[in-house]
Amino acid sequence: MPIKCTWGEVIAIRGRNGAVGPLAKILAANKSSGFSLVDRARLQRFCAPILNELGKIEPTHLALLEKYGTERPDKPGHYDLPKRVRGTPEEKQRQEYDAEYAKLEAVEVELTLLPLPTDVVEQFDFSTSDLLALDKFLKLPEIPDEQAAPSPTEEKKS
């Protein structure tokens, strides 16, 4: 099922700023034997397009880090970005990085993936931020009209 999203939404599933996102939790759980074969297939069909898209994002992001960051001597391939200290040349450099990164996050893509059904999602211990990152990619059950919450205008009429 094609889902339109941005690279920023894909990055949020991976996790930001060193935080572990829901993708790592899904990949780790998918290797465990606690899931049925059907659920493991569902998880794989969800993860594969996201991993593929991350593979397209990373070279662009790495180019930005190389352009604006300083490679760490103790960790080759890791970069420190300039600090946001007002009135310094580093602040201007960081603002330029932030502007280019915002453009990278705004790139729109269409992923063909199998949305995660809630019965599979319920098996994870996702944080609120994980669920927010996954929101667009969840298959929520339909709520019959008689169970749906009344709209605010209907409540005022009573």
Is residue 153 domain-resident? no
> Is residue 156 domain-resident?
no
Structural domain for 55, as ranges = 2-140
Question: Number of C-alpha atoms within 13 angstroms, CB side, residue 25?
Answer: 19
* Domain total in the chain: 1
130 in Cβ contact with 122 (< 8 Å): no
pLDDT at 109: 95
Answer yes or no: is 32 within a domain. Answer: yes
Residue 15: burial class (beta carbons within 10 Å; 0-12, 13-18, 19+)? middle
27 in a structural domain = yes
Which residues have CB under 8 Å from 120's CB, separation 6+?
Answer: 35, 39, 42, 43
Q: What does pTM read for this prediction?
A: 0.78
Does a structural domain hold residue 39? yes
Q: Is residue 152 part of a domain?
A: no
Within a domain: residue 28? yes
For the chain, 158 residues long, the average pLDDT of each consecutive 10-residue run is 90 82 85 79 89 94 91 88 81 90 95 86 87 87 66 56
In a domain, 150, yes or no: no
Contacts for 103 with CB less than 8 Å, ≥ 6 apart: none
